[in-house]
Amino acid sequence: EDQVTQSPEALRLQEGESSSLNCSYTVSGLRGLFWYRQDPGKGPEFLFTLYSAGEEKEKERLKATLTKKESFLHITAPKPEDSATYLCAATSYTGANSKLTFGKGITLSVRP
Amino acid sequence: SQTIHQWPATLVQPVGSPLSLECTVEGTSNPNLYWYRQAAGRGLQLLFYSVGIGQISSEVPQNLSASRPQDRQFILSSKKLLLSDSGFYLCAWSVGTAGTQYFGPGTRLLVL
């Protein structure tokens, strides 16, 4: 069974204090690794898709990286508006239709 | 550009009452459609997905059902709600089975 584990569950940072969020995955043939941002009471907002180990993608203060077992979301010099829950999800080649397996999310709080 | 709508945004229903949540997508044709439930402290749980009109696959046995009467319309229903049906319901769409899933704003359901 596919599994996605995110750590830590919650992270509190000071504005400007860079850090990384971890996503470990166990899937039968990774088809894609996805990162989403979710604000309270809203639907997840798509950030990145990574397909193969070694791939990196950047958007503003965020950079996502992928290895064969993990993905990291690096946040450089975060601002209070980066506070949100960050979700990681993986899809595999098993089955006729790709099914996203989500982690429980990491709640990030950035203090001014 | 593509847009996904969900309504209602919030719903309070008594136990045993029926349920109908609606999701519509604009700006794309023949999308894959998904219903998820998000409970506090737990990851997103896939409930149903559809690859075309009238084609529904169920992931979790429960008292909920889904229908796709039109290409870009996805409906989540129940004949009799349970307390355990409370949660945040999210609709998503993708192009193809491996495409990135994009989420709607969600419906908060409280069953009393």
Shortest CA distance to A46 belongs to which of B4, B6, B107?
B4
| Rounded distance between C-alpha atoms, residue A86 and residue A46, angstroms | 10
Q: pLDDT, tens digit, for every residue of B61-98?
A: 689 999 999 999 999 999 999 999 999 999 999 998 77
Q: pLDDT, tens digit, for every residue of A20-54?
A: 999 999 988 888 999 999 999 999 999 999 999 99
DSSP B29-83: SS-EEEEEEE-TTS-EEEEEEEEETTEEEESS-SSEEEEEEETTEEEEEESS--G
Q: Residue A46: enclosing H or E segment and its boundaries?
A: strand A45-50
Share of chain A above pLDDT 70, in %: 96
The minimal CB distance from A43 to the residues B49, B59, B90 is found for B90
Instruction: Determine the distance in angstroms separating the CA of A79 from the nearest CA of chain B, rounded to an integer.
Output: 24
Provide the token pair at A90.
Answer: 């993986």
State chain A's mean pLDDT as an integer. 93
| Rounded distance between C-alpha atoms, residue A27 and residue B90, angstroms | 24
pLDDT at B14: 98
How many CA within 13 A on the CB side of residue B32? 19
> How would residue A97 be classed by pLDDT, with cut points 50, 70 and 90?
low
Share of chain B above pLDDT 90, in %: 82
Residue B43 contacts A where some CB pair is shorter than 8 Å: yes
State chain B's mean pLDDT as an integer. 93
Burial B53-64 (b: 16+ CB within 10 A, else e): eeebeeeeeeeb
Interface touch A46/B102, C-beta < 8 Å: yes
pLDDT at A95: 56
CB-count burial class (<10 Å; 0-12, 13-18, 19+) for B37: buried
Residue A36 contacts B where some CB pair is shorter than 8 Å: yes
> How would residue B20 be classed by pLDDT, with cut points 50, 70 and 90?
very high
pLDDT at B54: 93
**Is the predicted pLDDT of residue A96 greater than 60, yes or no?**
no
The minimal CB distance from B46 to the residues A42, A100, A105 is found for A100
User: DSSP 3-state assignment of B23?
Assistant: strand
Count of residues making up chain B: 112
